[in-house]
Amino acid sequence: MKKISIILLIACFFSIFSCKKDEGISCTTCSSPETADFQVCKEGNGNASVGGQDTGTPYDVYITGLEQAGASCGN
């Protein structure tokens, strides 16, 4: 019984301390001559979201596409 307790204790220790910290959401404001200012956020999964909706596109790719289309994005 003592061996099982030690094994469970070790397993709990590793499960608690091996988890990486959850990444928070970070947002930037973008503007364009054709639109009002809007926020693009980087979700914890790495995708961009606009208006709370996940675009399904990686954040960096989404921002690059906006800038290539003439938008200006910055913090």
pTM: 0.65
* Position 59, amino acid: Y
Q: Which of 75 and 55 is assigned the larger pLDDT?
A: 55
- Tens digits of per-residue pLDDT, 31-59? 998 889 999 999 999 999 999 999 999 99
Q: Residue 10's pLDDT is what? A: 58
Determine which helix (DSSP H) or strand (DSSP E) holds 30, and give its type and residue range.
strand 26-32
CB–CB of 71/29 below 8 Å? no
In the chain, domain spans: 23-74
